[in-house]
Amino acid sequence: MLRPLSKTRIRVAWAIALAVDAIQVPADLSGPVGWFLGAGLDLITMIVLWAMLGFHWAFLPSFVTEAVPYLNLAPLWTLAVALATRGRGGEALPQPATPEAPKPPIKILNPKD
């Protein structure tokens, strides 16, 4: 089972993923120079997210597809973070209350009887 993550780690990972995807769309449209800059940014992003969230299978396809020009117009890092952080928040989900078994009535003994 994966360890729970703090809210701060999840928020920072989301911020990184959104920022990288926002940078890569215009960089990818700028041509080959942007593709090479985007490849370096992808490598750094994968290392940082892996260190923050631990390994998740969603990081590998994101890294590979981001290396293909014009395929990285989709926000793949944001999708990868969404999959990697799904259900790993710090608080557990509320569980339904279990009904208690009825207790037997208390019998009071009267010493005068």
State mean pLDDT over 78-95.
Answer: 74
Q: What is the DSSP string of 9-57?
A: HHHHHHHHHHHHHHHHHHHHHT-HHHHHHHHHHHHHHHHHHHHHH---T
Q: What is the pLDDT of residue 19?
A: 94
Q: What is the pLDDT of residue 18?
A: 92
Amino acid (1-letter code) at residue 59: F
Higher pLDDT, 34 or 93: 34
User: Percentage of the chain with pLDDT > 90?
Assistant: 10
* Cα 31 to Cα 20: distance, rounded to the nearest angstrom: 17
Across the chain, what does the average pLDDT equal?
Answer: 78
Long-range contacts of 85-89 (CB under 8 A, 24+ apart): 85/5, 85/10, 85/13, 85/14, 85/53, 88/2, 88/3, 88/4, 88/5, 88/10, 88/53, 89/4, 89/5, 89/7, 89/10
Structural contact between residues 90 and 6, judged by C-beta atoms closer than 8 angstroms:
yes
Higher pLDDT, 94 or 97: 97
